[in-house]
Amino acid sequence: MSPRSLVPGPRSLAGVASLVAALIAASAGAQEGRAPSEAARRAEFAYLARKWEEAKVQFARGNDEKVVAMANALLVLEPELPWKDEVVSLRLRAKDRMVARDVVEAAILCDSPRATVGDVIRLRVRIAARTEDPLSWVLAPEGESPGARASLTVTIREWGAGRVESLATARLPIEGLPESATLKKGEAIEGTVAVPTVAYAPLRVTARTYEFEGVVRPASLAAGTRAVFRPIVLDPVRVEVLPRGWERLAGDPVAALREAVREERPVRLLLAAALVPDGVRGEAAEALFDALGSPFEREATAPAVMAALRRLTGEALPDDRAAWLALWSRRRQAGGGG
């Protein structure tokens, strides 16, 4: 099986179908009265934890239909998950976004998915009417908490060895949204947010991901005579904030990644991984798996390789070379690969 299959698809529900099939297989033993072994239970729990992490990735990408299906499957397999409340909450938020999209199209927009450390990221928040009936909007009063009625949340993450570290989370008010408006189908209103990168993380030579999500809470929102009682959840966006000089690697990031592995340059390796576009993530993952399985791979480089694999595949495995190689072997065997 190609390592490309390790990369979560942007809209496909194939992963959900395989998860449901696994649920049926896993429950068959219980229906026949066979108690699972402790080792089997640990393996099952680890599998569920990985799928939960993948569901959160899919939510960040705006794949709400897939999130709902994955959450439903997780709750069927293990109704008493330790993070059951979080799963239920994420499912509800995904459903809210699906409902809201029937009325409005709301998104956070950025001119470029990449920025250089020290730049100001300039975002636009666009809310457009999707209904045939006029969409009437009145923004809620600001109140005592600035940004409570219309704000973005930015989470800044650093991809390093051992884990993905969350460096900062901040709420940013959306400026410029009109207090009231009536929109015909296709018409839109916009607000803006300016994010100075240095204000939320110090200047360092490392790649970071800025994840933006947001919500607008109108006091009144109606499509014709039909009132809409839900807040408007904005489609999220991610911006990679990179050290100066990243443009030199952007032409062929997979080749730059291979070179960084050969030359044992972990920082350059992580930067190249941040530049890999979705269409060639499978090829990049294959290069990293090959390096990880090589007897010549240095222990000093391996943590960076595994950190890059977390970014490229969406898997949440720890820094355990054997665990990553076992995952690759299982996926290749499942696909009939050599």
Domain borders along the chain are 3-100, 103-242, 247-334
The CA–CA distances, whole Å, from 256 to 62, 219, 284, 300 equal 30, 51, 10, 18
DSSP-based helix, strand, coil % in the chain, nearest 5: 45, 25, 30
Architecture of domain 103-242: Sandwich (2.60)
Q: Which pLDDT score is estimated for 4?
A: 39
206 phi/psi in degrees, rounded to 5: -150, 160
CA 273/CA 287 separation, integer angstroms: 11
The dihedral built from the CA positions of residue 217, 218, 219 and 224, taken in this order, carries a sign that is: negative
End-to-end CA distance of the chain: 8
CB neighbours of residue 208 within 10 Å: 23
Q: Which pLDDT score is estimated for 194?
A: 93
pLDDT per residue rounded down to tens, the chain (338 residues) = 444 344 444 444 455 555 555 554 544 444 455 555 677 777 777 888 888 888 888 887 778 889 999 999 888 888 888 888 999 989 988 887 776 677 888 999 999 999 998 899 999 999 999 988 999 989 877 664 555 588 899 888 876 655 556 677 888 889 999 999 999 999 999 999 999 887 765 555 567 889 999 988 888 888 888 887 667 888 899 999 988 889 999 999 999 999 998 888 888 898 899 899 888 988 899 899 888 887 666 677 888 899 889 888 888 788 888 889 888 888 777 665 44
DSSP per-residue string spanning 86-141: HHHHHHHHHHHHHHHHTTEEEEEEES-SEEETTPEEEEEEEEEE-SSSPEEEEEPP
CB neighbours of residue 185 within 10 Å: 13
Q: Which pLDDT score is estimated for 301?
A: 82
Q: Which pLDDT score is estimated for 5?
A: 40
